[in-house]
């Protein structure tokens, strides 16, 4: 369903949710949208790897350092002389993503600083990783390695670029702003024609002068024209909403709490394992439990999770991020049956207590807080349940009547984050 087709009741239920969809005001162009069938792999995949890595990883003060610290573009560009990563190993990274239970990935190919991590003739001033110290095409290495590992490959691209004064003043510095726009079109063309099948295109930063929304800047970027080009090059690519066009799915961003009802649209939450999107010298990470809790909160509301890591400037991945990925993998392995290929519901979640996913005649109850759940009765289900069991196969006693369903999960089977009960319907 497209966001514009939501009925009033559904919209009202969304408004009660803490999920913040960023680009609901995007311009419509239904002929650009993928069919439900073409979106299915993405909805089934549930979990993806995001990574922010580039020149900004070197100072280690976040990917906004150039702007936040008012570093002049020519000064910032000198970082490219030092960017020559020796520990970058996309095969290892793809292996880790798989071990974490991820089925797709999104690489930041060029952030707002303008440095392109590929051989980009369209880059303004030749600001890319081929024409500077590294002399390597990281997008090629990434797409080859991740595809080979069986992961779907996605590319993040920021149309805006702080190197252009026209970005900050597009109505007066029109010539300069149009150079930025030309770069955007040329680079999207490169990314969507030279690296084989691109499964996801993930825009960020279509807004202008850091004000308004991406859609407010549609007069400038012409996102319909831009994405018509993308569709010609990549007919089945799943496109996010942040170019100013509504896109194939909606985005929520950051580690805030997820509550409220199931969202009846395709949506994805992105957040980061480390405290920042990109490498920072303190190397702090979010507590693992908090990450997994947010993941479950999304899955039971129909959302995907795009989980970010922040490689070291030399390309290696800090050990505490690796450890988190491995634990997430163990969680996904144990509970994957109740996550991959499911839809949310049929029962609405009760915030942080339980939620549901389902596939065919199997209903998966995810109990997030056993103490709060212990004496609860689930609202009635239309379907007649013939068996309840845990994912290890042990049977669980249950009662289903006109008041609803109660299940008795023995204490020794309680899990701290997600006790999954599989309810099998007739
Ligand atoms: C925020 C950050 C940006 C990051 C993005 C990822 O918009 O400002 O730096 O790339 O989130 O979604």
Same domain, 203 and 170: yes
- Give the separation between CA 349 and CA 47, rounded to whole angstroms: 20
Q: Whose CA is nearest to atom 4 of ligand 1?
A: 277
Examine the pLDDT at 419 and tell me if it is beyond 70: yes
For atom 11 of ligand 1, the residue with the nearest CA is 253
Confidence label for 2 from pLDDT (cuts 50, 70 and 90): low
> Does the reported pTM lie above 0.85?
yes
Same domain, 368 and 330: no
Inform me whether the pLDDT recorded for 197 exceeds 60. Answer: yes
pLDDT digits 0-9 by tens, 212-243: 888 899 999 999 999 999 999 999 999 999 99
Structure confidence at residue 19 as a pLDDT band (50, 70, 90): confident
Pocket of ligand 1 from Cβ distances under 6 Å: 52, 63-64, 204, 253, 270, 277
> How far is the C-alpha of 51 from the C-alpha of 82, rounded, in Å?
20
How does the average pLDDT of the chain come out, rounded? 95
User: Element (H or E) spanning 96, and its range?
Assistant: helix 90-99
| Ligand 1 center to 270 CA (angstroms) | 9
Q: What percent of the chain has pLDDT over 90?
A: 91
- On whether both 193 and 308 belong to a single domain, the answer is yes
Nearest to 129 by CA among 65, 79, 76, 163: 79
Separation between Cα atoms, residue 90 and residue 426, nearest integer Å: 46
Q: How close is the Cα of 214 to the center of ligand 1, in Å?
A: 13
Instruction: Assess whether 311 and 373 both reside in one domain.
Output: no
**Can you tell me the mean pLDDT for 139-148?**
98
Domain that holds residue 224: 3-338
Pull the structure tokens for residue 365: 């109850």
Q: What's the pLDDT at 248?
A: 97
- Do residue 236 and residue 366 come from a single domain? no
How close is the Cα of 218 to the center of ligand 1, in Å?
Answer: 19
From 253, 255, 275, 306, the mutation candidate for ligand 1 (largest count of ligand atoms within 8 A of CB) is 253
Quick one: pLDDT band at residue 25, thresholds 50, 70, 90?
confident
Is 197 found in the same domain as 99? yes
In whole angstroms, give the CA distance from residue 104 to residue 154.
Answer: 7
Per-residue model confidence as pLDDT tens digits over 367-391: 999 999 999 999 999 999 999 999 9
138 phi/psi in degrees, rounded to 5: -75, -25
Looking at 338, 355, 375, the residue that finishes a domain is: 338
The verdict on 387 and 324 lying in the same domain is no
Does residue 11 register a pLDDT over 80? no
Give nearest CA residue, ligand 1 atom 5: 204
Choose the final residue of a domain: 282, 314, 338. 338
Q: By mean pLDDT, which of 64-73, 210-219, 301-310, 411-420 is the weakest?
A: 210-219
């Amino acid at each position: 369903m497209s966001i514009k087709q939501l009925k009033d009741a559904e919209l009202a239920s969304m408004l009660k949710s803490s999920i913040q969809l960023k680009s609901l005001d995007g311009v419509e162009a239904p002929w650009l949208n993928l069919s439900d069938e073409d979106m299915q792999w993405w909805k089934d995949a549930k979990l993806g790897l995001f990574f922010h890595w580039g020149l900004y990883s070197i100072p280690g003060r976040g990917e906004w350092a150039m702007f936040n610290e008012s570093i002049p573009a020519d000064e910032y560009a000198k970082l490219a002389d030092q960017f020559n990563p020796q520990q970058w190993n996309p095969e290892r990274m793809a292996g880790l993503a798989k071990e974490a239970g991820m089925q797709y990935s999104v690489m930041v190919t060029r952030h707002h600083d303008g440095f392109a991590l590929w051989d980009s003739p369209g880059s303004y001033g030749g600001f890319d990783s081929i024409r500077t110290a590294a002399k390597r095409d990281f997008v090629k290495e990434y797409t080859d390695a991740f595809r080979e590992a069986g992961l779907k490959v996605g590319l993040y691209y920021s149309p805006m670029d702080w190197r252009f004064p026209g970005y900050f003043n597009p109505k007066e510095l029109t010539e300069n702003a149009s150079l930025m726009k030309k770069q955007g079109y040329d680079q999207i063309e490169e990314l969507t024609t030279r690296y084989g099948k691109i499964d996801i295109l993930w825009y960020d930063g279509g807004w202008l002068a850091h004000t308004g929304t991406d859609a407010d800047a549609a007069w400038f970027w012409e996102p319909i024209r831009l994405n018509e080009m993308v569709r010609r090059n990549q007919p089945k690519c799943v496109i996010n909403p942040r170019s100013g066009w509504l896109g194939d799915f909606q985005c929520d961003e950051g580690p805030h709490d997820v509550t409220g009802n199931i969202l009846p649209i395709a949506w994805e939450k992105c957040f980061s394992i480390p405290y920042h999107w990109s490498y920072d010298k303190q190397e702090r990470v979010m507590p693992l439990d908090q990450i997994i809790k947010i993941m479950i909160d999304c899955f039971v509301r129909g959302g995907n999770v795009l989980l970010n890591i922040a490689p070291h400037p030399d390309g290696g991945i800090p050990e505490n991020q690796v450890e988190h990925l491995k634990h997430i993998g163990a969680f996904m392995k144990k509970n994957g049956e109740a996550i991959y290929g499911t839809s949310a519901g049929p029962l609405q979640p009760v915030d942080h207590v339980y939620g549901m996913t389902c596939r065919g005649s199997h209903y998966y109850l995810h109990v997030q807080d056993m103490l709060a759940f212990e004496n609860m009765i689930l609202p009635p289900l239309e379907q007649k349940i013939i068996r309840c069991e845990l994912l290890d196969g042990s049977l669980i006693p249950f009662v289903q009547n006109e008041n609803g369903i109660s299940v008795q999960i023995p204490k020794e089977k309680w899990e701290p984050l997600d006790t999954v009960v599989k309810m099998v319907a007739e």
